[in-house]
């Protein structure tokens, strides 16, 4: 697990592929800058309620999901469609 830290809570994440990471939420634009530095330019947020305003990131998708519950089939389809397009564009 890698971390980028700033004045706020450190962002924790794991790399899934060259262009996909999974981790904690983006609480501020300092986290976005850290993601840009490693080539990540999009965010898929699965939090049930938005804990922040949309960050200054190239692409963002919010799929509100209840904690400890699976996303709906529509959410899975939307999320995988976005991931597929981002992978093709290497974002």
Contacts from 50-55 at CB under 8 Å and sequence distance 24+? 51/25, 51/27, 52/25, 52/26, 52/27, 52/28, 55/26, 55/28, 55/29, 55/31
Prediction pTM value: 0.75
Q: What is the pLDDT of residues 17-66, one digit of tens each?
A: 888 888 887 777 777 888 888 888 888 989 898 766 667 788 889 999 99
């Amino acid at each position: 697990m890698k971390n980028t830290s700033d004045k706020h809570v450190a962002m924790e994440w794991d790399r899934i592929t060259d262009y996909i990471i999974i981790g904690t939420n983006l609480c501020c634009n300092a986290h976005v800058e850290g993601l840009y530095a490693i080539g990540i330019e999009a965010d898929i947020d699965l939090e049930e309620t938005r804990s922040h305003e949309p960050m200054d990131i190239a692409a963002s998708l919010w799929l509100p999901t209840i904690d400890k519950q699976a996303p709906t089939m529509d959410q899975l389809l939307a999320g995988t469609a976005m991931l597929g397009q981002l992978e093709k564009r290497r974002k």
